[in-house]
Amino acid sequence: YMGMFRLVSNLSRVTFPSRTVRSFTRLFTNELANRPFVVFSARRTFAKIGKKKQERKDREKEKESVEVPKAIDFKPLENAMKEVLNSFKTEAAKLKVGRLTPEDFDNISVTAYGARTRLSELAQIASKGANTMAINVYDESLISEITKTLETSDHNFQLKRDGKIILCTMVGGNTREMKEKVVKQLRTLGENSKQKLRKERTNGVALIKKHEKFISEDVIHSAQEEVESMVETFVGDLDKLITAKEREIMNS
């Protein structure tokens, strides 16, 4: 058919009698009409080729628009894990037996005015001896709720009310029972921190998948090993902190 098209094109430059032109045109039209599937098949083939070519161009353009890294930057991931360890150290430092301090009340919250509020925002807390704190409540209507919260807390408090002031004494001191109770709180804190580190591992895997399209399999494999190694290192450091703090509590 392409040959016939070229023939028609060439013949268009030559002058023929009108009867000859009509006969040739009718012959050519009939031939096409008898075999329409050939034209349709050709068009479909050209359409497929054109679509694949365009898809290939689109993929190449996408790769060019993205900066292909030679390695994945895990610095934000590392910083997040360091923050988990620093947070654990801060909270673990508050766990102790023996002397009672105002810092021992930092994690105690009370339901006040329809919301959970830190006790330190509702009262002034001052030392009245080695194991006794004076809690001066600003709003006397909250004394009942504050007393209830202190009585049900993890601390072994003995309470005595003096007007708007609640005298809070730690009972037990350095007994083995009290130490074991604090160690239990420490281990719970450590397990929560480990869960946060495992969450960062999940974030690292997600970051690798985000780059999968644009980096080699060797880089992906190396990145996966780096994330796993990083998590194991931080979990190991956390275990050392837990062991050291536990020893400190039991020997105090």
pLDDT at position 238 over 90: yes
pLDDT number for residue 195: 94
Q: Are strands 132-137 and 123-127 parallel, antiparallel or unpaired?
A: antiparallel
8 A C-beta contact, residue 127 and residue 141 = no
Asked which of 155-169, 175-189, 211-225 is least confident by mean pLDDT, the reply is: 211-225
Question: Is this model's pTM higher than 0.85 or not?
Answer: no
